[in-house]
Structure 1
């Protein structure tokens, strides 16, 4: 005990001595509190908030009045609890009504968003929503509707429209531990999603509301660019400059994703960095050509101010999406560092940007965009810190090429596990695709876009737009070529929930620490996380919420109970299995046999039945016998079931299910609700109480 106490005291003394170098760790510790909030099984209440506040006060007192060796632990305690409190506050602040049940009928609202759905349909986001027979206090603040029957409708920002739509609450995870759309929708204040097959009626043309000025400018510029550039090259260019992705087809999106170039179409740190970097260089070197100005003024700071203004305009134009705000904050912090005569690109500036992003939007922590942006940035900084020490050994003519390869390798290595965990795929040739495409973005596409914007008022944007269109066409050609190569995509099964925290914390320890023992601990965390990922087993049986689909794992992969229908659920399951099969291929594996609406599969000592359609209730009553597992689409109307029964009512309580067999042959069940917990975004009673109070 004495030896352990001495070692602890020595460690605290070392931390106290090096606390000036611990700033990069601040967002990591802050994120621990955010992670604790999102991993909780129940929504933290007032008591938790009070305890956290008391803990913060105690930490501050310890920091001010305690011994110096306790200063760092006190700050760490404050940061962890502050992360928890920030998450709680943000979750309460965004609270908005969520549709209680399915709805079919008239929907009236104002157009505040235009994009494309999973099925490649134009999709409208409406606010100021009115629903028939739904009280105003229970009407969602925002709804999102796919236009299945009117794909050619050219919506205008701010239009008041009316349509007849099928709406439902945001979907729960398609499997236990799967992607939680309910949580994403909660923070976006999206209270219902759905579709319409009927034409959209315009009730009022777009008004001059100030809150849609940016949206109107974005759509106008996007359509102007697409009118000057043909095909997907124009849609791609418009997405780069304005964030409007409604013209980008699903085929283009998949080609970019399969070639690891999807980050090019989402306005992120890369775009903001290229834009501000070009404006900074243009201003600085332009002013250097005017000797009286260059000799009297600090052109570097003038260029930084100009670049910051350009970043502000880009934020206004591209819209306040999470990725765009995050990119702006990173650029603003780095340009502010230039104004304050500090290093623009350093781990400290990245840490400050991360703290601002997480403080404003703690939910960003669990989103792939945040993880990939900051992971890539940290990897690049660390890589080029080492590059400085060896660059002189490389011939000067080769240094740009080697630096480009190093940057692609560092960023790709940092983001590959994150992309694999979220999207269940690794782009095998992504390194090559980025080597070819990113220089085109930096040297041609983004500079041409800026120049076109400057020359457009003079009517001289044509040549710059041609350069931009040519560059975009080349990037899309690279994406399609790479995506079409054999083995371009390596499917990866979904990891367990503990894998990415282990891998991420381990990688951060390696990147940020100079202590050898911490580097070894970090490497062990990464190795343990990857090992547990490789040994993970997928569920034997998956049951979709409401009983729409059932999937059984076989030697050839997961077999599905339906050839069509519930396509999003089917694709999500197969991707999470690391399986590239389409739904029809998975159905053809023939683990299920029977007639349409009544199929069965063997499951150890049980027979697993899936019954759907209008006759589901009657068929379920006939099949529900001892030794049977019956999954039915609809409600059970019989008495006490003699089988293990899952109907719409029971699945509404549990969400999607994962079923397995233990060593004695008994059925084991894991529900999506077991892992999602009782949170504001998924519990109707809890949410209603919050909104009523």
Structure 2
């Protein structure tokens, strides 16, 4: 033992001597290439900062530079630099997507080659090498996004079409709570537009959509996919563009099957087979589990969510359980893990195999096959793709005998997903999925591993296995909930403050009852014995639904927040990444980013006038600071989709909407000799519009009037009395008011206005002007 300690001391002495050796001594000592590289990364990185600090005439800055160099050297030595590759790649994608005009398709690739060459030339100077490598990563993300967008570029319908007959092959068909919806690969129009979209999405009133693969004709009203409901809101048109949709609309007649002009290609034939499999599985599940439980079971097994009742979905959103309905990491992991342990248990029944063969690696093969089939069966959404890539890497690590559930695995998965679909950084599901996974891996590495590890000998009850398991479950729910909260607040203007309680109650049901029973039921389908497993799954779903409703009914369960600026979300993301990926005191940058994120929130000014994408509904912020509505008709404005979005952006979700009691109205607007419009602010005593057959008037925050004339005869009076007139009619040449021309396909639709202190109005477009970005209709018009 003494000899071992002496040898260890000598070894430590040699290591210490090597760390402080002079450059001449270090060069003379024989070392292998790996040791030289490690020595250079650790010592020369810090020396580069130290040399610069020594030449700095300011001692404080010199010490700060030296400390920064030491911390950066430590991060590099701990292999943390590679974790920032997907971060730089994502920033490059964001720079492309946020460009004011469409960049040159060669800008990103050329910049990548230049920075990569400079990085390779600067290998002798670690700081320059890593800085240039980061720049090359940004350029790679920029270039990949540009090339991928050019690859999928397609035309968008330029002007609305009413009563047009469109023919095409059904690529997707889904049931909805009310009716159904199909996506057609267009083969023709009876009145072809100038730029015909290649794919259209049409809502049907019927709950019996045509099957996938059928060629149909249907008469419909079509328009370009709608933009955001307000500047900074979720852009539905952008999401549709990235899905290849060039027009959306509603059927005004029944669909009928027609002969296809050509046989389907292999991709469509495979999609037809896969969709038929999904629908067949869904029908078998609904035969065993009718009603609400069946709809949830179908969503969990096949990804078809159309039969989940809207009240239940809302309860799950409020309680923080909506992630269970979206197939992602939890579901993929449970499927792969269940198959893995079942296969391993079956292989262990043969002692010869268990003792002489790597059955653990063999069991990963059927688990990977099950995960691959589940990916296809569930529709392969972005969150599911990320989960599948993570599962694939973990199972490959099991096959190779290496630990795979690490931050480097997540970084590789992020790079793969962003390369295949760069626009995934815009998807709320992908953002929340990656954030939750990162938080869970970091929580496990920094404390969860010790929490889950079994203790030796007798332990008190609070350290027993069940107690540790419950603590680990609470830690998992807390970490995932905190990581996804900023993204839920930004995209949905809501928080789920009681999600920890709901997840603690529901996660055991999902992990041990619902998903294993669903998997067993699916495997038993070919043998006709799926009913017992799906009944057990239905029992678990009923219990989970009860948890969702009970938690959603608790006071304070639905936490609405005002819309968050994009700059705040970006700064919060940087704070989150710094806290998770850095190990040295550089992680304190997280506090700096988090504090900086508060400034855009505090500086944000609420919009004063909002116009929906169809130019049919207008909201005006009154003297009390609340929004009130007026529009092209007298009733039902508050139930419109745009009004719901505006209400959500105000943080007033679930607090009554725009409707106000008629007796509480104290309108400052002059009456038009007609009754009040029953649509006003959510708060008692708020202002409501005064309307008559000629139009409506609302007072703005400073008391000036905003008019919405419905008849040309009201223009003269509105031009004289109002500060702003929103109209579909041609403005008089002598109108003293600010005129905003409204047109469903024109410049007034989907815009907003902000009242400036000098009395002027500043216009803010929900979208950039036509022709600037590839996912806007103008890009397709400009291309052709």
The two structures have a TM-score, normalised by structure 2, of 0.82
**Which residue number in structure 1 is paired with residue 201 of structure 2?**
144
Indicate if the aligned counterparts of 1:160 and 1:203 stay in contact, CA closer than 8 A: yes
Distance change >3 Å, CA 531–CA 429, structure 1 → 2: farther
Q: Give the 5 Å matches for 1:41-60.
A: 41-46=100-105, 49-50=106-107, 52-60=108-116
Instruction: Confirm or deny: 8 A CA contact 2:451 2:468 kept in the other structure.
Output: no
Does the 8 Å contact 1:125/1:143 carry over to 2? Answer: yes
CA offsets per residue over residues 626-677 of structure 1, 9 Å max, x none? 7531112x34264464321112259823642322322222222222235999
Give the alignment of 1:531-550 within 5 angstroms: 532-533=600-601, 536-550=604-618
Q: Quote the offset at 1:556 in angstroms.
A: 6.7
8 Å CA contact retained: 1:280, 1:306: yes
Matching residue of 2:399 = 339
Matched, 1:64 2:159: no
Assess if the C-alpha contact under 8 Å between 2:612 and 2:642 holds in 1: yes
1:564 aligns with 2:636: yes
- Indicate yes or no: 2:691 matched with 1:594: yes
Instruction: Give the counterpart of 1:194 among 228, 233, 249.
Output: 249
CA contact (8 A) 2:166 2:186 kept: no
Please tell me whether the aligned partners of residues 731 and 739 of structure 2 are also in contact (alpha carbons under 8 angstroms).
no
Alpha carbons of structure 1 residues 561 and 512: separation in structure 2 relative to 1, 3 Å: same
Say yes or no: does 1:473 pair with 2:545: no
**2:684 is matched with which residue?**
none
- How big is each residue's C-alpha offset from its partner over 1:426-482, in whole Å with a ceiling of 9 and x where there is no partner? 122211111111211110111111111222222222211111111112212222222
Any conservation in 2 of the 1:545–1:652 contact (CA below 8 Å)?
Answer: no
Aligned-partner SS, 2:753: strand
Return the alpha-carbon distance in structure 2 between the equivalents of residues 673 and 187 of structure 1: 16
Deviation at 1:116, TM superposition (A): 5.5
C-alpha displacement of 1:184: 0.9
The alpha-carbon deviation at position 275 of structure 1 amounts to 0.8
Query: Corresponding residue for 2:139?
Result: 81
* Equivalent residue number for residue 625 of structure 1: 720
Q: C-alpha distance in 1, partners of 2:439/2:69?
A: 28
Corresponding residue for 2:42? none
**1:579 aligns to what?**
652
SS of the counterpart of 2:191?
A: coil
Q: Quote the Cα distance in structure 2 between the aligned partners of 1:362 and 1:530.
A: 28
Partner of 1:32: 91
Quick check: 1:376–1:412 contact (8 Å CA) kept in 2?
Answer: yes
Checking the alignment, whether the CA contact within 8 Å between 1:107 and 1:163 is kept in structure 2 is yes
Task: Determine helix, strand or coil for the equivalent of 2:258.
Answer: strand
| Partners of 1:163 and 1:112 in 2: CA distance | 15
Distance between the aligned counterparts of 2:578 and 2:749, measured in 1? Answer: 37
Q: More deviation in 589-598 or 29-38?
A: 589-598
Structure 2 residue runs without a partner (length 5+): 1-51, 456-461, 661-677, 682-686
Asked if 2 retains the 8 angstrom alpha-carbon contact of 1:657 and 1:672, the reply is yes
Tell me how far apart the structure 2 counterparts of residues 493 and 297 of structure 1 sit (CA, whole Å). Answer: 59
Deviation at 1:13, TM superposition (A): 7.3
Bigger CA radius of gyration: 2
Q: 1:388 aligns with which of 440, 444, 449?
A: 449
Tell whether the 8 Å contact from 1:176 to 1:675 is kept in structure 2 after alignment: no
Q: How many residues align?
A: 678
1:178 aligns with 2:270: no
Cα separation, 1, equivalents of 2:534 and 2:566: 46
Distance in structure 2 (CA, Å) of the matches to 1:129 and 1:245:
28
**1:572 shift after superposition:** 0.7
Partner of 1:97: 155
Report the counterpart of residue 360 of structure 2 in structure 1.
300
**Cα distance change on mapping 1:597 and 1:296 into 2, 3 Å:** farther
Cα deviation per residue 1:388-438 (whole Å; 9 max; x = unaligned)?
345558333411111111111111111111111111111222111111112
Give 1:327 deviation, angstroms.
2.1
Matches of 1:675 and 1:485, distance apart in 2: 45
Counterpart-to-counterpart distance in 2, 1:373 and 1:54: 32
Task: From the superposition, tell whether residues 403 and 605 of structure 1 become closer, same or farther in structure 2 (CA, over 3 Å).
Answer: closer
Distance between the aligned counterparts of 1:421 and 1:157, measured in 2?
35
Superposition map of 1:407-556 within 5 A: 407-516=476-585, 518-530=586-598, 532-533=600-601, 536-554=604-622, 555=624
Residue 485 of structure 1, CA deviation: 2.3
Q: Could you tell me how far 1:210 is from its partner in structure 2?
A: 2.8
Q: Deviations over 1:515-548 (max 9, x none)?
A: 21x2221122123314543663321222223531
SS of residue paired to 2:158: coil
> Residues of 2 paired with 1:479 and 1:218: CA distance?
27
Higher mean C-alpha displacement, 175-184 vs 87-96: 175-184
Structure 1 spans left out of the alignment, 5+ residues: none
- Relative distance call for 1:676 and 1:368 in structure 2 (3 A) is farther
Q: Deviations over 1:534-583 (max 9, x none)?
A: 66332122222353111122437321114424811111111011112335
For residues 520 and 722 of structure 2, the distance between their equivalents in structure 1, rounded to whole angstroms, comes to: 72
After superposing the two structures, state which structure 1 stretch, 593-602 or 97-106, moved more: 593-602
Change (3 A) 1:416 1:120: farther
- Cα distance in 2, alignment partners of residues 354 and 416 from structure 1: 20
Rate the CA distance shift 1:666–1:289 in 2: closer, same or farther, 3 A. Answer: same
C-alpha change, 1:126 and 1:642, in structure 2 (3 Å) is same
| Secondary structure of the corresponding residue to residue 624 of structure 1 | helix
Q: Distance in 2 between matches of 1:289 and 1:583?
A: 66
Structure 1 equivalent of residue 776 of structure 2: 682
Q: For the Cα contact (< 8 Å) 1:129–1:140, is it kept in 2?
A: no
Q: Which moved more, 1:75-84 or 1:14-23?
A: 14-23
Measured at CA, do residues 605 and 14 of structure 1 come closer, stay the same or move farther in structure 2, by a change above 3 Å?
closer
Q: 1:627 to 1:648 in 2, by over 3 A?
A: closer
TM-fit CA distance, 1:239: 0.8
| Deviation by residue 1:283-340 (Cα, 9 ceiling, x = unmatched) | 1233223211111211111121111111111112122332322221221122222223
Specify which of 248, 252, 269 is matched with residue 308 of structure 2: 248
SS in 1 for 2:276: helix
